[in-house]
């Protein structure tokens, strides 16, 4: 971060302050999983029609294609987010590597 000489005039202060660790963690979980979830949704539904999938899973339900896409997207986003969250948890809670 750029540290300019602190000044009494607030106008001369640089913009912003770093995010807290927690905020950075949330961002690092939510955003990449959103991206990968979107790609997974695209790949999956390019090959599978939600209506065909519904016939094979819950034929009794009345779901539209749009509902299928939306559920699929949130499913993939959720799965990716839980994986990211676990990774962060594991790297944060493990024994730190010490080097001499």
Give the separation between CA 38 and CA 34, rounded to whole angstroms. 6
The DSSP symbol for 8 reads S
Nearer to another protein, 15 or 95 (CB): 15
| Interaction of residue 74 with another protein, rule CB under 8 A | no
Q: Which of 6, 8, 46, 94 forms a contact with another protein (CB under 8 A)?
A: 46
- The tokens for 41 are 């949704």
Contact footprint for another protein (CB under 8 A): 1-4, 7, 10-12, 14-17, 19-20, 22-24, 26-28, 30-32, 35, 42, 45-47, 49, 64-67, 69-70
């Amino acid at each position: 971060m750029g540290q300019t000489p602190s000044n009494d005039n607030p106008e001369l202060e640089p913009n912003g302050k770093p995010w807290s660790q927690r905020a950075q963690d949330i961002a690092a979980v939510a955003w990449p999983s959103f991206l990968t979830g979107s790609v997974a949704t695209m790949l999956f539904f390019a090959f599978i029609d939600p209506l065909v999938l519904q016939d094979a899973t819950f034929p009794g339900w009345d779901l539209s294609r749009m509902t299928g896409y939306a559920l699929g997207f949130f499913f993939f986003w959720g799965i990716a987010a839980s994986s990211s969250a676990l990774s962060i948890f594991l790297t944060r809670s493990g024994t730190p590597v010490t080097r001499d």
